[in-house]
Amino acid sequence: MEFKIRSHITGAVLWSCDAATFYEAVEAAVKSGASLADANLAGADLECSYLQGAKLAGADLRLADLRGADLTGADLAGANIEDAFTCYAKGLPREYPNPLSKLLTRQGPITAYKVVTPDRRGIYFPCDIIYADGAEIRVEGANTDPLEDCGAGINAAIWGWCQRELSPDVVVPRGNEIIIQIEFMAEDIAAIPHESNGKFRLHRCKVVGEAKEEGRK
Domain boundaries, the chain: 1-90, 100-210
Tens digit of each residue's pLDDT (9 = 90 or more) over 56-81:
999 999 889 888 899 999 999 899 88
H helix runs in the chain, sequence order: 22-32, 159-165
How sure is the predictor about 96, in pLDDT bands with cuts at 50, 70 and 90? confident
* Residues shown for the chain: 217
- This model's pTM is above 0.85: no
- Tell me what percent of the chain is helix, strand and coil, each rounded to the nearest 5: 15, 30, 55
Other beta carbons within 10 angstroms of residue 167's beta carbon come to: 10
For 175-194, write each residue's pLDDT tens digit. Answer: 688 999 999 999 999 999 87
Mean of per-residue pLDDT scores for the chain: 88
Residue 172: pLDDT over 60: no
pLDDT range class, residue 171, cuts 50, 70, 90: very low
What's the pLDDT at 124? Answer: 72
**Rounded mean pLDDT of 121-139?**
87
1-90 to CATH, choices 2.60.40.420, 2.160.20.80, 2.40.110.10, 2.30.42.10: 2.160.20.80
Residue 181: is it exposed, middle or buried by C-beta count within 10 angstroms (0-12/13-18/19+)? Answer: buried
